[in-house]
Amino acid sequence: MSTNNTSLLSTQSTSDNQWVLASNNKGKLAEFKRLFAEANLDVTIIPQGQLDIEDAIEDGLSFVENAIIKARHASRISGLPAIADDSGLCVPVLGNSPGIYSARYAGEHGNDGKNNAKLIADLQSIRDQQADSSNPNATIKGMFVCVLAMVRHADDPLPIIAQGLWHGEILDALHGDGGFGYDPLFWLPDLQASAASLSAADKNSISHRGQAIQQLLAQLPL
């Protein structure tokens, strides 16, 4: 975005009732739209793509760092308060990979098919070892992580931070055709369903992103 456009946004869009959502991920945007609608906030949430804001360079080493980086980036360009999400899948037996690199685990950003295929392949040797062990029915645990950061302005020294964790198991094959990302590999034993098999409403009620949204709302001075 040019300097002229940045200045225009900063002078025209200063209302506290407008916040920028620092994401261009279509799956996340759809979930956030539903979650914020359910929250009945007296706020207009503007996806950063509508303001021609490109994705920030995520060079942090944690979900928290990257969420703050993205929020500050969107706020600095727009002149508005901003909310950013950094989320991913952590698998303890892989040293919590793919972690913050979940979206580009296979090397190509946002390619769900390749990312899921790489995760299945990376876990195969561990599954083989389990099959040869005294506990052949052992499962591989995983958790979805979502960290939300909200800044009131680009240099806000006290960002609001919220975190949600969603625990489950990692499947060895895709199951379900809904959701996005690693949802088809994320199994919920209590529900006997994958995240990709849940309705949008059911997923939002228990997911890492739904949990983080509720934590964030509880901290807002509304």
* Domain range list for the chain: 3-219
Q: Spelled out in words, what is the top-level CATH class assigned to the domain 3-219?
A: alpha beta
Flag whether pLDDT at 9 surpasses 70.
no
| Res 198: pLDDT | 97
**86 noted as active-site residue:** yes
Pick the range with the lowest mean pLDDT from 15-19, 102-106, 168-172, 177-181: 15-19
The mean pLDDT of 5-9, rounded to a whole number, is 35
CA–chain centroid gap for 213, Å, is: 11
Flag whether pLDDT at 87 surpasses 80.
yes
Mean pLDDT of all residues belonging to the chain: 89
| Res 1: pLDDT | 37
Nearest residue to 63 (alpha-carbon basis) of 117, 158, 144, 120: 144
Q: What's the pLDDT band for 12 if we cut at 50, 70, 90?
A: very low
Contact between 151 and 75 (Cβ < 8 Å) = yes
Confidence (pTM): 0.86
Q: Which of 16, 52, 59, 86 is catalytic?
A: 86
Q: Calculate what percentage of the chain has a pLDDT beyond 70.
A: 92
